[in-house]
Amino acid sequence: SQQWNLQLQYQLPGQWIVDAGYAGSNGVKLLNRRNINYAVAGPGANTGNTDSRRILNQDHPQKDEYGGAPFSAITNQLTDANSNYNSFQFSATKRFSGGLQMSHAYTWAHAIDNISGLRGAASRTDSARADRGNSEHDVRHRYVMTYLYELPWMKNRRDALGMIVGGWGVSGITTFQTGLVFDITETTDRCLCDSSG
């Protein structure tokens, strides 16, 4: 796994600091899994004869002894998955002054991999490239604002009224981001190949 970071910072008038940066990473030889005994679809294929159509059962010397199905699904653990992440990050922070502190942060990012969340390879090939695409945790745009405002009234009073009414503030965190990718799954084995394992 490799990681890269680059950050620039500049102070502006009015207690503002701006940051701009790049962050990236590259992962190789990540854990993957694949059903290596999928069924081959063809004439007469149906969900009832899935096991007898699996590739490791074809021409197996014991297939007659086991009703054409010595093996069921076989999940192979591999280390052929890869990931890639690139992001541009920008933030502007106002230091606490005049009763106000706030920050704004924006990130543009793109995460690509071929085995998000160890969901298993979708293809029936031996190439992990066939499953390459947007990661399950790919958030392309993200904006976060934090703020703290100290209410000005009676904050310096030391009497009972000042202790009750003074010293209050308003704070919060506001986040906007694009949605996550999602998989559409079909519970029916429409390809008649039982690739899920």
Q: What is the mean pLDDT of residues 98-102?
A: 92
Q: Which residue has the tokens 């899935």?
A: 50
CA distance 105 to 18: 10
- Can you say how many angstroms the Cα of residue 54 is from the centroid of all Cα atoms in its chain? 33
Predicted local confidence at residue 69, as pLDDT: 86
First to last CA, the chain: 28
Q: Is the pLDDT of residue 80 over 90?
A: no
Contact yes or no for 93/16 (Cβ under 8 A): yes
pLDDT category, 125, cuts 50, 70, 90? Answer: low
Q: For 139-168, what is each residue's pLDDT tens digit?
A: 999 999 999 999 888 877 888 887 788 888
**Residue of higher predicted confidence among 20 and 151:** 20
Q: In sequence order, what are the beta bridge partners of 5?
A: 23
**Residue of higher predicted confidence among 188 and 49:** 49
CA distance 170 to 148: 6
Predicted local confidence at residue 3, as pLDDT: 93
**Residue of higher predicted confidence among 74 and 26:** 26
Please give the model's pTM, rounded to 2 decimal places. Answer: 0.73
Three-state DSSP string of 128-193: HHHHCEECCCCCCEEEEEEEEEECCCCCCCCCHHHHHHCCCEEEEEEEEECCCCCCCCCCCCCCCC
Q: For 167-197, what is each residue's pLDDT tens digit?
A: 889 999 999 999 987 767 767 777 777 766 5
